[in-house]
Amino acid sequence: MIDIVILAVVVAALVYQLWRVLGVRNDNEPQMPASDPFAAQSLRPLSGSPVDRAMNAKPVNAKVLPDGVPATNEPLSVNQGLQQIKDYDSDFDERGFMQGARAAFEMIVKAYARGDLETLKNLLSPKLYDHFAEDAKARAQKDYTMETTLHKISTTTITGARMIGFDAEVTVEFISEQTSVVRDGAGNVVVGDPAAREEIRDTWTFRRDTRGTDPAWHLVETKE
């Protein structure tokens, strides 16, 4: 009986220390700012407090495969990758994610063209932000301006999904029609054709830490 009481005291002390370090989610905390493209699909609170999520977190050291599928070194299929993410984050919904990804694509394309570094900083990983910022500053130093019109996003397709440690990673292919030109300080076109509509195929990779209460995804890689 004494052992049980001692064990209960130890468990209570551990939980209290975790609570002090991690805190608890307050339902009265402000929602994500409207500028967050993924906020709309994350209005519901994440399941459990940070303490619960930390104590129930699972280490990722193997692929999550359906029953009957052998564990090989072959890459995960898209469906297997999405299921792996759902196993670690029950709140993940690919439809809601894709709505946010489309909005993020439009916001980032337009912010990059006008050199809006503040918007880019909230949507990109630090490494990718530095790369985008260098390009924007180089244009500004030459007194160049970039004009991009995103006519439409034709298709969006998830081409990859997986867990890396506790980070969920989803790769999306965007096919869009854009008109993009760069002008010098006198307004002369130095790159592009203002009358042309080009089909652009971009592959973007988004990442998010599944342990946190922040629902935001950040763009970590782009390929054209």
For every one of its 224 residues, what pLDDT tens digit does the chain have, with 9 covering 90 and above? 555 545 454 445 544 444 443 344 344 444 444 467 876 554 344 444 434 443 444 433 334 444 444 444 456 789 999 999 998 888 899 999 999 999 999 999 999 999 999 999 999 999 999 999 999 889 989 999 999 999 999 999 999 999 998 899 999 999 999 999 999 999 999 999 999 999 999 999 999 998 877 778 999 999 98
Range of the domain at 211: 2-223
In this predicted structure, what is the pLDDT of residue 171?
A: 96
In this predicted structure, what is the pLDDT of residue 44?
A: 40
Q: Coil, strand or helix: which one is 115? A: coil
In this predicted structure, what is the pLDDT of residue 26?
A: 41
In this predicted structure, what is the pLDDT of residue 69?
A: 42
* Domain containing residue 139: CATH number: 3.10.450.240
Angle between helical axes of 126-141 and 94-114 (0-180°, round to 10): 30
- Nearest residue to 223 via CA among 161, 154, 171, 163: 171
Pairwise CA distance, residues 108 & 119, whole Å = 8
In this predicted structure, what is the pLDDT of residue 208?
A: 94
Cα-based distances in Å from 173 to 137, 148, 208: 27, 19, 18
In this predicted structure, what is the pLDDT of residue 40?
A: 52
In this predicted structure, what is the pLDDT of residue 4?
A: 54
Q: Name the phi and psi angles at 67, rounded to 5.
A: -60, 135
Q: Residue 181: CB partners within 8 Å, gap ≥ 6?
A: 146, 147, 189, 191, 192, 193, 194
Pairwise CA distance, residues 144 & 42, whole Å = 38
In this predicted structure, what is the pLDDT of residue 43?
A: 37
Question: What single-letter DSSP state applies at residue 76?
Answer: P
Pairwise CA distance, residues 66 & 43, whole Å = 30
- Overall number of domains in the chain: 1
Enter the pTM of the model. Answer: 0.69
Pairwise CA distance, residues 101 & 132, whole Å = 18
Q: Coil, strand or helix: which one is 143? A: coil
